[in-house]
Amino acid sequence: MHAHVTRLADIFAMLGGVILFVIVMVTTTNTGAFILDRILAPVGVNVSGLPGYEDFVQLAISGAALMFFPYTQASRGHVAVDLFVANAPMVVKRVLDHMWLILTAAVALFLAYWMINGLLESRSDAAVAGVLGWPIWPFYIPGIASMILWAIVSVSQIFGDARYA
């Protein structure tokens, strides 16, 4: 089970990376258009930027950024302070680690809960992006899924991690 959850976290991170790549490409295109506009303006040629660029980046980054949390948890890439427990008995390290994993799962589920509320409120308000007119609520879904996966990864580490075996 732990291996499958870790693999899913890898897939989420790769999808987040693809979204970030698209954001970079759109940003590069938009910036290139502004540069061309400044270069060609003296000869009477206008090159416009991408309409709704800011909307797209805001909506895309909101999900992509959260898609890395499960991977970071799965690879134990989060900040750990071992200074005070470096010489503690293994049982103390295991108990502290399990407590933090449970707390991490609880925080992730808490965030998912509030994101679900935000999704529902955004949907009921029919909130849309200012320029593009895209509904905002679907962009909550990757973040909610990421928070739930982050919690699952944390819990799976309690039962499947060989770190303190």
Residues 3-39: pLDDT tens digits?
889 999 999 999 999 999 999 999 999 999 999 999 9
SS3 135: strand
Please state the domain count of the chain. Answer: 1
Q: Which residues, in sequence order, are CB contacts of 141 under 8 Å at separation 6+?
A: 63, 119
Report if residue 28 sits inside a domain: yes
Report if residue 165 sits inside a domain: no
Report if residue 89 sits inside a domain: yes
Report if residue 93 sits inside a domain: yes
Check the CA dihedral 99-5-59-115 and report its sign: negative
Predicted local distance difference test score (pLDDT) of residue 75 = 87
Report if residue 155 sits inside a domain: yes
Which domain does 155 fall in, by range? Answer: 2-160
Report if residue 37 sits inside a domain: yes
Report if residue 126 sits inside a domain: yes
SS3 117: helix
Predicted local distance difference test score (pLDDT) of residue 161 = 60
Q: What six digits make up the tokens of 127?
A: 């909130």
Residue 165: is its pLDDT beyond 50? no
d(CA 37, CA 47): 5
Q: How far is CA 88 from the centre of its chain?
A: 34
Report if residue 91 sits inside a domain: yes
Q: What is the pTM of this model?
A: 0.84
Residue 151: is its pLDDT beyond 50? yes
Band (147; pLDDT cuts 50, 70, 90) = very high
